[in-house]
Structure 1
Amino acid sequence: MGWGWLSYSYWFPRVHSQNVPNSALFYPAVDTDVTPCHYRIPAVYSFGSYLFAFCEQRLDTSKDYGRMNIGLRKLCLKDLGRCEDDSEWSKFCQLPLLEGYRTMNPCPVGCKETGKLYVFVSAINAKIHEAEILKGRNTEDFKLFVTSTIDCGESWTPWQDITYNFNENVPVGSKFVVLGPGHGIELHSGRLVVPGYFYRMPSSFTEEILRQMPNGRKSPPYNNVGCSFCLISDDKGETWNISTTSDNFTYCVVDNMYRHMGECTIAETVPGKLLLNSREYGNGQYRILAESEDGGTSWKQGKVCTQLRDPTNRGCKGGLAKLVLEDVRYLIASNCGHPSARKNLTLWISQDDGATWSKPWTVRDRELCGYSDIDTYMDPSTGTAYVAVLYETGVSSYSERIDFISIKFSEVLEKCSY
C-alpha cells in the first residue's frame, strides 16, 4: 500500500483550520494610473493613530527585476476592527520616486518621541540585475536609502543615501547588504532597530568558523553564506549604523553545514533582549532564531526552531510581533504553514519569549500564501487588541495581490493552543 496517504495529513496536520475573512489591499485595479502591474513584499506597521501598509509596485513583471516603486496605503486605527474590505483605507499612493533605481524591500520604523516615521529601502541601478551583485559584480550599483515623514505620510523627505554607513562595520567579504523587508521596532530604551541581512563569501570567515564548514560545501546563492544583522540608531533616527563589535551579525551552523539566514524580523522580548526570526534559504524546513542580549549590538549564533515551519526550497519571509496584555508577554509569528509550498497562511504564539511555540493555526487554508508581515495594535475605542496581517496571495500565483486580515488577539490565543 505504501505510505503516500500519510505524506501530509499525518505528519503535518492542519490544526485549527479556519478561513478568516480577508480583504484585497494591493491589486492591479487599485492603481488606475499604471496597468498592468504586480504587488509584492508587504510590510505592515502600527504607528501613532494609523496602520501603514507598504509594498513593492512592480511595473514590468512579478519577478525580482524591472521597474519598481514603493506603494503605500494607510488606515486610521479607529476605523479598523475587523475590516471586511478596503473601502476605509486611503487611496494608493507612491513614495517619492528614486530616479535611476528600482526601490525594493520597504521597511518602516517610527520614533514615538519625535513622531517621525522612517522607511528604508534597498535600491539597485535600474539597468543592473541583482544576480550580478550576488556574483560580486557591480556592487557599487547597490545602495541603501531612507526617507521620513512627520505628517503620517502626507509628505516625505528626499531620499538619503546611507550606504556609506556600512563601509567600515560590515564584515570583510560581504555583499548585497539588504534591509527588511517587514518593519523595525523601537526598543524600551528608545533605540530604533531595523532588521537586515547580507551575503558573505565563505573565504572571508575566520579559520575557526571555516572549520565548521565541510570541504567543498557550496553555499547558495552563488557560493555565498547568508547572515542576518540589525541597523541601529540611538539618536532618534538622526544617524544609522551597524554595531562596531565583531559579532554584530548572526549565522547558523547545523551538523557542520551552514544554514543560510536571510530575510528576518525582530521583537524585543524584555528590555534590551531581542529575538530574531529568519528565513532559511537552503532546503531546511524550519525557521532560524537568534538572540541578542544588548539591544542588537551583538548576536548569538542562530539555532533552528523545529516548531516554526518554513517551506522547503529556500523558505519564505515570515512575520514576528510582540504584544503585552495584563503583564503577560506574547510573541506572534506568521508564515506559510505548508511543508513544501507557499500555501496556508499560519500563525503561532509563544508565551515564553520564543523558547517554545504553540500548535499552528491555519488562518487561510488551501490558499496560496507568499511573504507575510504582522503587527499588533489596540482599538482606541474599546481597548481590544488585534493582530494585523499583510500577506501575498492569489488564485494561480501567490504574487497576484496582497491581502489584509485583522484578527482579535483573543481569537488568535484561543486557536493557537498549546
Structure 2
Amino acid sequence: MGNTTPSRSKQGCMKEINKTTIFKQEEPQPGNCCCKTQVSYRIPALVYVNDEKTFLAFAEKRKTLSDTNAEAFVMRRGMLNEAQEVEWVIGHQLLSSASLPDHRSMNPCPVYERESKTLFLFFLCVPTKVSEYEQIRTNTCQGRLCYVTSKDAGNTWSQTTDLTEDVIGERIKEWAPFAVGPGHGVQMKSGRLIIPAYAYCYTGNPDCISCCCLMFSCFTPFALAFYSDDQGITWKAGKQMDVESCECQMAEIIDEEGKSTLYCNARTRLGYRTEALSYNSGADFGKVLSPNKLIETDSGCQGSVLSFLEQSDPPATWLLYSHPSDPKSRVDLGLYLNKTPLDSSGWSDQPLLILHRGPSAYSDLVEYEPGRFACLMECGIKHENEEIAFALFQLPEKKL
C-alpha cells in the first residue's frame, strides 16, 4: 500500500508536493508485434466518502491514448488513516457494470448524495469506434447519458441506467457530441445534485451543407447542468450557456447572507476560460463573468474547480482552480485561489503553488477535511499521460 501526506515548511510555505502513482501507462511487452498498442489511463475523477474516510479514484482504461480506444472504467480505493496519510489498496477494480453493449464508457463524473448515502457515477457511453470528429462530421449525437450507483462506498455497483431519452429527449437532435464533466459533480446546500456537462451545436451558416461547414470551426460547445432535487431519482437538463464553454466543473458559492450561487468554469478555444454564474441552481447560467483573467492553454485543457468555506468571521466561500499554468503547452499544473468568487478579477495573478512541475493535463480537486485538499492529476516527466497521480496538500499560509 502507498501513502500520501501533505507537507508544509515551518515558515508556512509548501515544500515539494509528495505524489502517489495511482494508474501508470503500461508499455508494450518486448516482442509484441502490435507496436503502438499499450494500456493507458486517462481522465481522472476523484471523490471522498467522508463516512468511510475513503478516497475513490476513477479513470478510463484505454488500449492507447486515443479517445476511440477507451475500454472501461477502473477505480482505486484509498483510506485516510489517523496520521492523515492515505493507504491505497493494491490493484484496481474494473467497473464492468458501468457500460452498455457495443459502447465505450467515457468521462467519469462522481457525486455523493449525503442523505441516502448513495454514490452516483455519471458517464457517457459512445458506440465503439465512433469518434467525436465523426459525430461532428455527420452532425449527429450518438452518445448516451448514463450512471451507476453504489451504496457501499464503491465496493459494489448497480447496473447502468440510461437517462438519455427521459432527460435529454428531443434536444439531442440539436446536439453533435456531448459529455459530462469530466471530474466531480456537486451536491448543493439545498440538496440539489449537479452534474456538469456540455454539448456541441452547429453554429455555422444554416444554409450551407458543404463539407467545409461540417467541421469543428462550425460547431461550438455550450455548457449546461443536469440536476436532481429528489436524491437522484429523477433528473432534468438545464439550459445551455450562450457562450463557448466546453469541458467544465461547477461549484456552489454561499455569500455572507446565506444566498447560493452556482459557479461554472469551462474550457474554451479562446485563450481564456469561460466563467459564469447561475442564480437558479443550474437551470440556466444568466451571467458570464469578465475580465477573462484565467488563461487557457493552447487549444484548451480540462481544469478542476472547487469551493470551500474559509474559517473566518463570518465564514466566506473561496474558490480553488487547478489547470496547466503555461499558455502554450500542458505543463506545470498550477493551483489558483479566488477569495472573491463572485468577481472573476479576484483570481491570483500567479499560481498559489505548482502541483506538478513538468508535463501535466487533466485534474480533479476535492476537500476532504476543512482546509485539507487532494488532487488527482495526469502528469509525467516526458509527457503528460505517463501516469495519474494523487497528492494531498494544504494552502500555503503566507499567500492567503
Q: Spell out structure 1 runs of 4+ moving beyond 4 A.
A: 217-220
Question: Quick check: 1:128 aligned with 2:125?
Answer: no
Q: 1:56 to 1:386 in 2, by over 3 A?
A: same
5+ long unaligned stretches in structure 2:
1-12, 30-36, 207-211
1:364 Cα offset (Å): 4.1
User: Deviations for 1:153-212, whole angstroms, at most 9, x for unmatched residues?
Assistant: 11100001111134447486222221110111001110100000000111699xxxxxxx
Question: Quick check: 1:23 aligned with 2:20?
Answer: yes
Query: Out of 68, 77, 82, which is 2:80 matched to?
Result: 77
Query: Out of 46, 57, 64, which is 1:61 matched to?
Result: 64
Checking the alignment, whether the CA contact within 8 Å between 1:286 and 1:305 is kept in structure 2 is no
Q: 1:301 to 1:352 in 2, by over 3 A?
A: closer
1:29 Cα offset (Å): 6.0
1:324 Cα offset (Å): 0.8
5+ long unaligned stretches in structure 1:
1-15, 206-216, 253-259, 379-383
1:399 Cα offset (Å): 1.2
Aligned position for 1:321: 306
% identical equivalent positions:
25
User: Deviations for 1:70-99, whole angstroms, at most 9, x for unmatched residues?
Assistant: 11112223367365xxx5345311112423
| CA–CA separation in structure 1 for the residues paired with 2:327 and 2:213 | 24
User: Deviations for 1:354-378, whole angstroms, at most 9, x for unmatched residues?
Assistant: 4111232241464111111111111
| CA–CA separation in structure 2 for the residues paired with 1:220 and 1:82 | 48
Aligned position for 1:52: 56
1:219 Cα offset (Å): 9.5
1:130 Cα offset (Å): 2.6
What is the 5 A alignment of 1:15-414? 19-28=16-25, 36-48=38-50, 49=52, 50-58=54-62, 60-78=63-81, 81=84, 87-89=87-89, 91-97=91-97, 98=99, 99-136=101-138, 139=141, 141-168=142-169, 170=171, 173-202=174-203, 221=216, 223-243=218-238, 248-252=239-243, 260-270=244-254, 271-280=259-268, 282=269, 284-312=270-298, 314-326=299-311, 327-355=315-343, 356-359=346-349, 360-364=351-355, 366-378=357-369, 385-409=371-395, 411=396, 414=398
Checking the alignment, whether the CA contact within 8 Å between 2:26 and 2:40 is kept in structure 1 is no
| Deviating more after overlay: 337-346 vs 271-280 | 271-280
| CA–CA separation in structure 2 for the residues paired with 1:157 and 1:361 | 40
| CA–CA separation in structure 2 for the residues paired with 1:310 and 1:392 | 17
| CA–CA separation in structure 2 for the residues paired with 1:318 and 1:263 | 8
| CA–CA separation in structure 2 for the residues paired with 1:242 and 1:362 | 36
Checking the alignment, whether the CA contact within 8 Å between 1:250 and 1:301 is kept in structure 2 is no
Checking the alignment, whether the CA contact within 8 Å between 1:289 and 1:305 is kept in structure 2 is no
Q: 1:183 to 1:345 in 2, by over 3 A?
A: same
Checking the alignment, whether the CA contact within 8 Å between 1:197 and 1:263 is kept in structure 2 is yes
User: Deviations for 1:20-39, whole angstroms, at most 9, x for unmatched residues?
Assistant: 22121111469x9xx94101
Q: 1:80 to 1:123 in 2, by over 3 A?
A: farther
SS in 1 for 2:249: strand
Aligned residue pairs: how many?
Answer: 361
Q: CA RMSD in A?
A: 2.7
Checking the alignment, whether the CA contact within 8 Å between 2:337 and 2:352 is kept in structure 1 is no
| Deviating more after overlay: 108-117 vs 43-52 | 43-52
Task: Please tell me the residue identity of whatever aligns with 2:48.
Answer: S
Q: 1:192 to 1:43 in 2, by over 3 A?
A: same
SS in 1 for 2:166: helix
With structure 2 as the length reference, what TM-score do the two structures score? 0.83
With structure 1 as the length reference, what TM-score do the two structures score? 0.79
1:121 Cα offset (Å): 0.8
SS in 1 for 2:133: helix
| CA–CA separation in structure 2 for the residues paired with 1:192 and 1:401 | 30
Q: 1:79 to 1:393 in 2, by over 3 A?
A: farther
Q: 1:69 to 1:204 in 2, by over 3 A?
A: farther
| CA–CA separation in structure 1 for the residues paired with 2:182 and 2:287 | 22
